[in-house]
Every structure is written in structure tokens, then in C-alpha cells.
Structure 1
Amino acid sequence: MAENNASHSSFARWWRQVLFVPLLHSKWLTTEARARLTDKVTSAERGHQGEVFLIIENHLPIQEAYHVGCRDRAIDLFSEYRVWDTEENTGVLVYVNICEHQLEIVADRGISAHVSPTVWRAMCEKAVSGIAHKKTEESLAELLDEVGQVLRQYYHLENNPEGNELSDTLVFLK
């Protein structure tokens, strides 16, 4: 989660996307790992009215990579997947870009009124550190738990009604 939302044009970023070979970097994201992370999203949503949405992307779209960085891409996906479209504006997108080794959290205005950007940043940095140590799935699972805890802190429900507003299924963009 970057403090500065502006992307700068970058030939180096574009070139990394062009040269990225998914088979070398996303072997950890097996069908089983996807199912476990989807279960973690479901678990992270228990006990509160918030919505957690996880997107993992191999690389930025080549046609956009020169001008669009990971933060802007996460914001675009937040809109495209309508994570903002929840009753209490409590949607939280966790976006992982494998090629760039970046993780972004985009939180809707309802939860952003309670949680400072530094909290989200610290959570991202902790997960990125785990990912750097080849503990990708474990780090993402822990991050999802933390996001769920934050949402429960501000939107706790004694009786957690059925009514999932967004899919819990991990979205993988190749």
C-alpha cells in the first residue's frame, strides 16, 4: 500500500512484465493453495459485516505496465470487481502482484474512516517480508486473518447473518 498514489511511467517496470515467466514464479499457487486461501477469505469474513476480496496477479497487463503501477492497478481492480459496492462501505481488497513482489490493500471509505493507512502499510510490509522468505501462502493466510481482525474490531456482529455481498473465491489473473 503506497503512500503516494501516483504511478510514474517506468520502462523498467514494463520490461519486467515482458520478461516475466509465470511458471518460474507462481508454482506455489496450486489448486489446493487457491482453495485454502479461498477458505481463509471466508474465515476472515466471519463475525463482522465487512467483505474481504483477494486478487493475485502474475504481472501487470503489458499494455498498461509502462504507465500503471501496482497501486493504481489495485485501485482499478477494486472498482472493476466492485469491492466498493457493499452496504456499509467495508470492502477490503488484498492485491498481490507476483512479478513486482508487491502487495496492496485498498479499503473502502467506511473502514478507512477507522483504520489509518499506516496500519494497512504495516500489514502489507509484514506479508511481503514473509513472501520474500518463500512463505507466500502462509504470509497471505496470516494477512487475511489480520484483515478479518481489523474488520471485527470496527464492525463486530454477535449474530453473523448469512449475506455475503462479494464472492470469497480467490481471483487469479494470469
Structure 2
Amino acid sequence: MGIGQNIKRAWRHLGSSSADAKRAFPEATLTAITEAITAGEQTHRGEVRLIVEKALPFDDAWDGVSNRQRALALFADYGVWDTEDNCGVLIYINLAEHKVDIVADRGIDRRIDSATWQAVCRTMTEGFRDGQFHDATLGAVKQVNELLRQHFPANGSRANELPDKPLML
């Protein structure tokens, strides 16, 4: 990435505000997402974590950290990998760039391929282009829950290992 691109990208991230994030994901939307994750986790063994970041930290934006690299870092930082059955799934949304990445723990990654996850990401990015953050995100959570239900159906009660409420950074 050239210096001009770095400046442009860093500026875009610097210019993203918490108010923008709250408009895209108001409390009612966060509640609906929480409820969808909670309901879905009753039907499968997966643990879904959704993180919305208004913008990358300035140094990461300047240094060219990719959306995927940031998602992998957050996957580790927030312990999404640290579930009993290696069944964590992170849905990471970078609002400044309207980019989405899904990182699945090794137990899930062996069964669901990257092309399938990319299709779920497209559900969100296409909706985001039209300003449909609520519906696009709920549609993607529904898709993730369905994939986990197909490949990792519930087998009795278990502890909820990760918070269901989206994390806003």
C-alpha cells in the first residue's frame, strides 16, 4: 500500500465516530442481535460473538492491517477460540470500511468452508451498502445459526461460554 493510500485509509478511520456506529447499530438493533444469538445458541453447540468496530486503531489503519488480520487479533483477544468444544465463531464488522470477516474456531473450520463464510459476509456487506445494518446483520446471524445447527446440533444443555450481546469498539 502506498503512502497516499495509507493517508486516505487512516483519515477514513480517524473520521469515523461513535455517533456513526450508534446510528448503524442503535440499542434496538443490538438487542435484536443479542436475542438472535441467544435463541440460535439453544439449537447448536456453537458460540457466536459479534464485534462491531467503528474504526481501526490509527496505527493499524496506517500500517495497512487488513480486516482479516484485525478479526484474527480480536478472535484471540476476546477468547472466541477458548470454548470447550472449539466451537467459537466471530463475526467482525469494520464500520469505517463496511467490511466483514468471520473467523471460526478449528472445530467448526474443519466442517464449514471459507466460501460459505464469504457468502454470509456478503449478506452483510450488500445490506450495509443500502444502509440496512439491522436487517443485514440479523440475516447473517440467522445464516450462521443455521450453519451451526446443521453441522453442530445441540446435544443437551450446556453453559453459555461467550457473551451474546454485540461488543461495540
TM over 0.5: yes
Confirm or deny that 1:168 pairs with 2:164: yes
Structure 2 residue corresponding to 1:96, chosen from 85, 90, 93: 93
C-alpha contact 1:57 1:97 (8 A) present in aligned 2: yes
Count the aligned residue pairs.
165
How far does residue 21 in structure 1 lie from its aligned partner after superposition?
3.6
Flag the 1:32–1:25 CA change in 2: closer, same or farther, 3 A: closer
How far does residue 162 in structure 1 lie from its aligned partner after superposition?
3.7
C-alpha contact 2:123 2:139 (8 A) present in aligned 1: no
Confirm or deny that 1:23 pairs with 2:19: yes
Flag the 1:21–1:172 CA change in 2: closer, same or farther, 3 A: closer
CA distance in 2, matches of 1:155, 1:146: 14
How far does residue 26 in structure 1 lie from its aligned partner after superposition?
3.9
How far does residue 81 in structure 1 lie from its aligned partner after superposition?
0.4
Give the match's secondary structure for 1:47. coil
Give the match's secondary structure for 2:49. strand
C-alpha contact 1:46 1:148 (8 A) present in aligned 2: no
How far does residue 154 in structure 1 lie from its aligned partner after superposition?
1.2
Structure 1 residue corresponding to 2:52, chosen from 56, 59, 62: 56
Confirm or deny that 1:151 pairs with 2:136: no
TM-score between the two structures when normalised by the length of structure 1: 0.88
C-alpha contact 2:49 2:166 (8 A) present in aligned 1: yes
Segments of 5+ residues of structure 1 without an aligned counterpart are 1-7
Confirm or deny that 1:84 pairs with 2:81: yes
Tell me the residue number matched to 1:4.
none
How far does residue 33 in structure 1 lie from its aligned partner after superposition?
1.7
How far does residue 133 in structure 1 lie from its aligned partner after superposition?
1.2
How far does residue 158 in structure 1 lie from its aligned partner after superposition?
4.8
The equivalences for 1:2-13 within 5 A come to 10-11=5-6, 12-13=8-9
- Where does structure 1 differ by over 3 angstroms across 4 or more consecutive aligned residues? none
Structure 2 residue corresponding to 1:114, chosen from 111, 114, 133: 111
CA distance in 2, matches of 1:87, 1:25: 32
CA distance in 1, matches of 2:10, 2:40: 34
Segments of 5+ residues of structure 2 without an aligned counterpart are none
Give the match's secondary structure for 1:95. strand
TM-score between the two structures when normalised by the length of structure 2: 0.90
CA distance in 2, matches of 1:20, 1:165: 31
Identity among equivalent positions (%) equals 34
How far does residue 63 in structure 1 lie from its aligned partner after superposition?
2.2
Flag the 1:24–1:110 CA change in 2: closer, same or farther, 3 A: closer
